[in-house]
Amino acid sequence: MTKDVFFFEAFAEEAAELRRLLPAGRSADFTDKTIQESGITPVASARLVSIRTQSAIPAAWADSLEGLLTRSTGYDHVNEYRKLIRRPQWPCGYLPLYCARAVAEQAALLWMALGRKLLPQTRQFKTFQRDGLTGRECEHKTLLVVGVGHIGSEVVRLGRSLDMRVLGVDIVKPAVDVELVDLERGLAQADVIVCCMSLTALNYGLFNADRWRLVRPGALFVNIARGEHAPAAELLAALTAGRLGGVALDVFEHEQDLAVALRRGAPAGGAMAELARRPDVILTPHNAFNTQEAVTRKAEQSVRQIEHYFQHGRFLWPVPPPT
């Protein structure tokens, strides 16, 4: 029997909230696996499919699905699918509002953990030695927020609450009041750089070797946007050369492949493996969104999207078509 909606990549807490909030009579199935891990082929088994960011959607599903809901604020992966099936207007929805504060707090957590050398601190508890553990305070440091949208605006507010000087980079005037600079000028001044941009063809690989040569030596870099903004090999080179003093990543290049491989017990390879071994690098499993509050908001907004689609034939928050 065809269900109304199939939720992929729904971890335990999220699935519980979705089940609690879905209206009686709305049929749904759930799995914590991606589409490619689930083995559900060759056609979709529901009217709507809901994913996060790591599922590879079979092209043939577009002929049997009514639409797609991504439970994420980013939607580059959805538009890549639309390009694949050559249907730029194919019905897709996303969740632009649920996790800005959660992701911003994770960004602040990561840059402070880097600045205070939290990983080496915990490792040296065994010997109770403090050599090499002297960190940095946030006050009076310069924070550069690259992409001042919903999440970036929250990062700006958190930086100011820590008495940091905050600069922003964006192609449009943001809602929050912040001094806007061009990227090159900002990199030359920043002590902490946080990437919050949506991924587009214009900013793919934006943080490359040429730009790392502009940064103040020892600057910290945090990426909570998309891994494709900052190639791992060039991050590793910048760390090795002393251009960067620390890197924290919650998102990764080719994350669909990396996540599936790691869950199957395969090690990361190449530059990512080298990054994972360094004491000045923190890697988290695309988990910045994951707070109790955000998970509840995500489930509520997902149900609103689904019900709006079934009542009106369109999503409340539709994904803009690819450019």
Q: Do 259 and 134 share a structural domain?
A: yes
pLDDT at 39: 83
Neighbours of 105 (CB within 10 A): 17
pLDDT at 2: 86
Domain that holds residue 187: 100-283
pLDDT in tens, 184-231: 999 999 999 999 999 999 999 999 999 999 999 999 999 999 999 999
User: Looking at residues 97-102, what average pLDDT do you find?
Assistant: 97
pLDDT at 198: 93
323: pLDDT confidence band, cut at 50, 70 and 90?
confident
Q: Do 120 and 43 share a structural domain?
A: no
Q: In this model, does residue 170 exceed pLDDT 60?
A: yes
CA distance 115 to 238: 17
Q: pTM above the 0.75 mark?
A: yes
CA distance 241 to 247: 13
What are 16's two structure tokens?
Answer: 């519980």
User: What mean pLDDT is reported for the chain?
Assistant: 96
How does DSSP classify residue 296?
A: H
pLDDT in tens, 32-51: 999 999 987 656 779 999 99
How does DSSP classify residue 59?
A: G
Q: Do 47 and 104 share a structural domain?
A: no
pLDDT in tens, 192-202: 999 999 999 99
pLDDT at 41: 62
Give rounded-to-5 percent helix, strand, coil for the chain: 40, 15, 45
Q: In this model, does residue 136 exceed pLDDT 70?
A: yes
pLDDT in tens, 117-132: 999 999 999 999 999 9
Q: Do 273 and 163 share a structural domain?
A: yes
Q: Do 115 and 42 share a structural domain?
A: no
User: Looking at residues 73-101, what average pLDDT do you find?
Assistant: 96
Q: Do 17 and 89 share a structural domain?
A: yes
What are 176's two structure tokens?
Answer: 């929050």
CA distance 59 to 82: 9
C-alpha closest to that of 9 among 41, 37, 28: 37
Q: What's the CATH code of the domain at 185?
A: 3.40.50.720
What are the phi and psi torsion angles at 244 (to 5°)?
-105, 145
Q: What are the CA-CA distances from residue 313 to residues 18, 48, 91, 306, 316 (Å)? A: 21, 11, 9, 10, 10
Q: Do 226 and 117 share a structural domain?
A: yes
